[in-house]
């Protein structure tokens, strides 16, 4: 169940109310006339079955709600309502499988924003990966994977392609490129400092590392794991039932590969740079393609799900009472 809160100028209230009242996916509907100060107008609350939200959001956007006011979508974690149960049952599809595209797009923009927090996490994760390589520690590699924030931007590439959002595509691509470049430069500088202090040697980088040699040795399994992990990650992001996302973070070696590239640059170990660079590209390409295909499949499946039926009786009841004079 989702809660839709619409804040709009008064002249849109009747049209918005009609759209919401007509849908069997809406279980409760409240209109607070004159409650909004900016914009001057009304506030409408509606409880909506998750699987029916996309149709309603599209119709509200066609009315220009987002231009003259605001549409907020929030999950209702706990609810007790027979009307809500009936709305959920009558609306085609499953709430757990439903993809609310407005929520997915908003999260994609948030996760792809290039800011100091994002760059800090990228740099810290890559630094930890660098230490993991020096110490040949799988535990630290896992820690670096979990800390890295890059998956949000990778998933955003798929969202941008499926929803044809060129701005989101540019934002996500910039976040990935700048993020990895900054993280690699920071880790390279740290590697040079360690080299100057004698804490890190060339043997630590290019010597035998049985626990972390997979970082610079890409093969077919690297691509397969990236594809499977990205598909699982996208499903975790779009589904109402969250779970498995942390498993994605510890499945793909993007951050560790970047760390190894950085150390290879610091010590002139070009075989390490080539191998890890290829590993990084293979993982990024595999994840981006898998995310795009998973979202495209979800969009194709949901395009065949019937829209919620019209609830004309409730619509007539709502429109029977004219708005009070202002």
pLDDT of residue 316: 40
Choose between 17 and 77: higher pLDDT: 17
Q: Are 22 and 312 in contact (CB under 8 A)?
A: yes
Q: Are 286 and 264 in contact (CB under 8 A)?
A: no
Token match 């799900």: residue? 305
pLDDT of residue 220: 84
Choose between 318 and 175: higher pLDDT: 175
pLDDT digits (tens, 9 = 90+) for 206-235: 878 887 777 877 778 888 888 888 888 888
pLDDT of residue 319: 43
pLDDT of residue 78: 86
Q: 313 falls in which pLDDT band (50, 70, 90)?
A: very low
pLDDT of residue 210: 81
Question: What value does the mean pLDDT take over residues 17-38?
Answer: 92
pLDDT of residue 94: 73
pLDDT of residue 232: 83
Percent of the chain's residues with pLDDT above 70: 88
Q: Supply the mean pLDDT for the chain.
A: 85
Token match 């934002």: residue? 171
pLDDT of residue 307: 60
Query: 99, exposed or middle or buried, with CB in 10 Å at 0-12, 13-18, 19+?
Result: buried
What is the rounded distance in angstroms from the CA atom of residue 179 to the CA atom of residue 254?
12
Percent of the chain's residues with pLDDT above 90: 43
Please, how many CA atoms are within 13 Å of residue 86, restricted to the half-sphere of its CB?
10
pLDDT of residue 12: 93
């Amino acid at each position: 169940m989702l809660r839709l809160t619409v804040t709009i100028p008064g002249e849109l209230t009747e049209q918005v109310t009609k759209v919401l009242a007509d849908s069997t996916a809406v279980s409760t509907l409240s209109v607070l006339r004159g409650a909004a100060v900016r914009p001057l107008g009304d506030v409408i609350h509606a409880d909506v079955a998750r699987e029916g939200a996309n149709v309603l959001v599209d119709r509200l956007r066609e009315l220009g709600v987002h231009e003259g006011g605001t549409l907020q979508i929030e999950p209702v974690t706990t609810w007790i309502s027979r009307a809500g149960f009936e709305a959920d049952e009558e609306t085609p599809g499953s709430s757990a499988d439903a993809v609310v595209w407005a929520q997915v797009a908003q999260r994609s923009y948030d996760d792809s924003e290039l800011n100091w927090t994002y760059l800090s996490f990228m740099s810290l994760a890559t630094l930890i990966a660098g230490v993991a390589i020096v110490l040949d520690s799988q535990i630290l590699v896992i820690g670096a994977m979990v800390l890295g924030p890059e998956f949000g931007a990778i998933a955003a590439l798929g969202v941008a392609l499926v929803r044809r959002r060129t701005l989101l595509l540019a934002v996500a691509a910039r976040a990935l490129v700048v993020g990895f470049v900054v993280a690699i430069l920071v880790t390279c500088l740290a590697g040079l400092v360690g080299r100057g202090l004698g804490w890190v040697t060339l043997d630590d980088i290019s010597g035998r590392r049985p626990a972390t040699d997979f970082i610079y040795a890409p093969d077919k399994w690297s691509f397969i794991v990236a594809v499977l992990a990205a598909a699982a990650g996208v499903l975790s992001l779009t589904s109402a039932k969250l779970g498995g996302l942390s498993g994605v973070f510890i499945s793909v070696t993007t951050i560790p590969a970047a760390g190894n590239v950085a150390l290879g640059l610091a010590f002139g170990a070009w075989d390490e740079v080539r191998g890890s660079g290829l590993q990084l590209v293979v993982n990024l390409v595999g994840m981006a393609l898998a995310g795009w295909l998973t979202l495209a499949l979800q969009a194709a499946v949901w395009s065949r799900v019937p829209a919620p039926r019209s609830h004309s009786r409730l619509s007539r009841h709502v429109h029977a009472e004219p708005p009070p004079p202002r």
